[in-house]
Structure 1
């Protein structure tokens, strides 16, 4: 039976709540290794803290892998600090083996900060880009 995307998301939430950072599942013809980067998220949390009036939103990784700020065939990053973006715009990629999963902006606004560093390991829910919504 194939592993569904909803199963992966649920497993990631369970791992995060329980404090477990890695799980590996192997079945004939398929395998899954899920890494939740709780340590870096905890370390990054103070830099994400903002005044109560701040309405910033954060684009987060939906899968575990390595963060890329730019497509491997291009030098220019998807977004830069101060850039205006639309909801659904690609703000980065997560490289998972030979696959690249896009990270999209949850809202339109101005890029306040690119939090993740290129090449850094990110887990499900790791903050990648902070966006200041348009007023």
Structure 2
């Protein structure tokens, strides 16, 4: 039975609540390793598209892996500070083995900061890019 994205999100929430930072599941034909970021957390609203008081939102990783600011075939980062982006724009990638999962902007605005360090191991829900919204 394939592991669904909703199952992964639920497992990550259980790990975080339990204080466990890593789980690895292997079954014939599939494997899953979840790493929950246990470092200092930023205060983020429960719904990432709701602006904070300073009118910014956070693009967060939806899977665990290694953060990439640029596509491996390109030298230029996907976004840079001060760059204007649309909702749904790819602001980074998470490398999981041979796969690359996109991190998307939850709202349109201007990139305020790239929070995650390129190459760093990030977990589910790790803040990656802060976006100042247009409102």
Do they superpose with TM above 0.5? Answer: yes
From the two aligned structures, give the one with the greater helix fraction: 1
Determine the C-alpha separation between the residues in 2 that align with 1:53 and 1:72: 35
Alpha-carbon displacement from aligned partner over 1:60-118 (angstroms, at most 9, x marks no partner): 00000000000001011010001110000000000000000000000000100000111
- Long gaps (5+) in structure 2: 45-51
* Count, aligned residues: 128
1:123 corresponding residue in structure 2: 123
CA–CA separation in structure 2 for the residues paired with 1:55 and 1:19: 31
**What corresponds to 2:28 in structure 1?**
28
RMSD of the TM alignment (CA)? Answer: 1.5
**Divergent runs of 4+, >6 A:** none
Q: Matched residue of 1:94: which SS?
A: strand
Q: Which residue of structure 2 aligns with residue 97 of structure 1?
A: 97
Tell me how far apart the structure 1 counterparts of residues 65 and 56 of structure 2 sit (CA, whole Å). Answer: 25
Q: Deviations over 1:4-41 (max 9, x none)?
A: 111011001111122110011122222211111122xx
Q: How do 1:16-95 residues align onto structure 2 when only pairs under 5 Å count?
A: 16-39=16-39, 42=40, 45=42, 53-95=53-95
Q: For residues 72 and 7 of structure 1, what CA distance do their matches in structure 2 show?
A: 29
TM-score scaled by structure 2?
A: 0.89
